[in-house]
Structures are given as C-alpha cells and as structure tokens.
C-alpha cells in the first residue's frame, strides 16, 4: 500500500486530473460554458504541438493528457483541419523526440484530407527515408479514418 501511495505522489497532475477535455475553438459562438476553462484556439494548440514535438514543454496544462487520451474536441471542421495540417507538417519534418506520439495523434485526429495530403507528399518525396516516414503517417491516418467511419 505504501508503494502505491508513493507511486501516486510522482504522477504528473494531468495524469491524476478527473476531466481533461481540451476544446479547440476559433469561434466564440461555439463555446459552451462547460468547456470554457479548457478552451483554446487552434493557433494556441498548434503552437503547443510545435513546442511538444520540438522537445519543449507545452503551455496548455492538460495538453499531454488530453492528446494522449483522445480527449480533444473541435468546434468545427476548420479547427480539426488546422490540427491535421500541423500534424502533417511534423510528419514532413522528420523524426521528432516524440515520433510514436506523432503517429498516435495522426491516427486519432487525422482526416480524409490528411490522408490525401500525405498521399501527395509521398508521391513527391525525394528520399526513401522520407517516403517511409510519410507512409507510416498515412497508414496511421487511414486507420483512424476507418475506425471512426465504422
């Protein structure tokens, strides 16, 4: 029992938080009171994706927990598209400190447009290494789309 209590003391606050929904909205008209405290613009979230995949700490407190557990909601397709484009951008840049998370995020939040964008990038990739990396990202996005389509 003592080991369990000691172990829980070292968990990050975001891992022990009860509700860690991250709501992404660029239009204030779609904000609901329930999510107002966890509301961020797509620009803020893209900046935190850049920080995270560059090896820095995100500024949004529940960022890691929300993205890792697919607890992200979008106001509209526009916000989902902005996040999808940021993830594609990281797939193009190459290996990051959090490559497995990148593939997970692409699977969870990718769209048909992300798949199409990756297809175009694969066709124009100059090296086999870049093609393989983009193909892995494309497969992750396609799996996510298929799962959500039923």
- For residue 27, what pLDDT is reported? 85
For residue 90, give the nearest of 63, 124, 117 by alpha carbon.
Answer: 117
Strand 39-40 with 72-74, pairing: unpaired
- Strand 22-24 to strand 72-74: parallel, antiparallel, or no bridges (unpaired)? parallel
Please tell me the distance from the alpha carbon of residue 128 to that of residue 122, in angstroms, as a whole number.
10
CA distance 42 to 66: 14
- Nearest Cα neighbor of 144 from 89, 75, 93, 72 is 72
Residue 123 pLDDT? 95
6-50 per-position pLDDT tens digit: 343 444 444 444 567 888 999 877 876 655 568 899 999 999 999
Q: What gap in Å lies between CA 124 and CA 28, rounded to an integer?
A: 39
User: Could you tell me if 100 and 137 are in contact, meaning their C-beta atoms sit under 8 angstroms apart?
Assistant: no
Query: Position of tokens 């993205």?
Result: 67
State the pLDDT at residue 58. 94
The predicted structure's pLDDT at residue 91:
92
- 39 has which bridge partners? 23
Q: Which residue has the higher pLDDT, 150 or 106?
A: 106
The kind and range of the H/E element at 39 are strand 39-40
pLDDT digits (tens, 9 = 90+) for 84-133: 999 999 999 876 778 899 999 999 999 999 999 999 999 999 899 889 99
């Amino acid at each position: 029992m003592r080991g369990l209590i000691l172990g829980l003391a070292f968990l990050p606050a975001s891992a022990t938080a009860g509700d860690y929904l991250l709501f992404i909205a660029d239009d204030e008209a779609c904000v609901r009171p329930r999510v107002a405290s966890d509301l961020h613009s797509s620009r803020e979230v893209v900046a935190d994706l850049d920080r995270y995949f560059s090896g820095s700490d995100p500024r949004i407190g529940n960022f890691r927990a929300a993205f890792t557990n697919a607890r992200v909601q979008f106001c509209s397709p526009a916000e989902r598209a902005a996040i999808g484009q940021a993830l594609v951008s990281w797939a193009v840049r190459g290996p990051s400190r959090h490559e497995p998370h990148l593939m997970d995020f692409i699977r969870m939040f990718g769209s048909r447009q992300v798949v199409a964008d990756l297809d175009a990038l694969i066709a124009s990739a100059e090296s086999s290494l870049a093609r393989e990396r983009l193909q892995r990202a494309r497969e992750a996005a396609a799996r996510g789309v298929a799962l959500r389509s039923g």
